[in-house]
A = this chain, B = another copy of it.
């Protein structure tokens, strides 16, 4: 992995979440919260400590965040809404590819601020209540993807099953790639790490029907023919079908 600074993606000493044009008070609360979490730990930091440091009132905190856990994941609600909007407009294309694209919205959110994402990753691993919160967020992403796939597979007698299994597989692959990037300290290309993992899932159910043995797509010179036929089909029909596929090679 390369140092992100070489790629011009990181700025020095970023410690809040993605800078944005959103409410400055909200941003100030997030920054204050993280500074306190990192010094005193999540459990020992109270909402009172956070509002005191941010110099705002207690009610301002709860206007933006329902709980202390929410301040740790300030971008997930926005990302979930973005994902739903993206899926609503994505009525064409290979369904599995569409949900992979939707999952990449999550990658982008993490990659927008590597230092914050890595800090949060470490914090989440240490605090059970944050892990619980994260599980519920991941579950919401998975349900959003499964809901989309169920609609696309409507009419298929195993459509709901396929939708749920594929959504779970996409989320697992996405998180595998994202974790690789986070464990590497948020250096290198998050999108590339996630893409490599998603390729495994796309190959598993890909239109080419490749085996899932490899983590990368086959090179053009390794193009494969796949022939599936009932055992009872006579050999001449099998040969005819393969020859037709190969264009008389």
Interface residues of A (CB under 8 A from B): 131-132, 135-136, 139, 157-158, 160-162, 164-165, 167-169, 171-173, 175-176, 197, 200-201, 204-205, 209-212, 214-215, 221-233, 235, 238-239, 242-243, 246, 249
User: Does A228 contact B239, Cβ atoms closer than 8 Å?
Assistant: no
Enumerate chain B residues within 8 angstroms of A242, measured Cβ to Cβ.
227, 235, 238
Closest to A220 in B: B231
Query: CA–CA, A226 to B164, complex, Å?
Result: 27
Q: What are the nearest 7 A-B pairs in CB distance?
A: A168-B172, A158-B215, A227-B227, A168-B168, A223-B231, A164-B172, A165-B172
Enumerate chain B residues within 8 angstroms of A197, measured Cβ to Cβ.
161
22 contacts between A and B (CB under 8 A): A135-B139, A160-B176, A161-B173, A162-B200, A162-B212, A164-B172, A164-B175, A165-B172, A169-B172, A204-B204, A204-B205, A205-B212, A210-B228, A211-B228, A221-B232, A224-B229, A224-B231, A225-B230, A226-B227, A227-B242, A231-B246, A235-B243
